[in-house]
Amino acid sequence: VWFDPEMQWDAVPSGRRGRQQAYSDAAIQACLTLKVLLGLPLRQATGFVASLLELSGLGWSVPDFSTLSRRQKTLDVTIPYRGSKGPLHLLV
């Protein structure tokens, strides 16, 4: 799993009234993609992403369970299945 340090992890302010989102759609999509690929429950996916970010040395915070649970209703994670004989490289 490769994380691009140039990725927009934090959300850009929307300019609307009310509380702003803390994480970008790309960050939520990355967490949910790992959840789907590895078949993990949501809480385990959160811990797994936290471990990956710590190992990669990036100072990004991880979306918590309730944030992922709420935002996954509006984001669609579809990963087409394609058989492969070699390793899978995931670039986030």
Q: How many other C-beta atoms can be found within 10 angstroms of the C-beta atom of residue 7?
A: 15
pLDDT in tens, 47-67: 999 998 888 888 888 998 888
Quick check: 75 pLDDT over 80? Answer: no
Q: How many other C-beta atoms can be found within 10 angstroms of the C-beta atom of residue 49?
A: 24
- What is the model's pLDDT at position 32? 86
pLDDT in tens, 17-54: 887 888 888 888 888 888 888 888 989 999 999 998 88
Q: Please state whether 60 falls in left (phi above 0), alpha (psi between -120 and 50) or beta.
A: beta
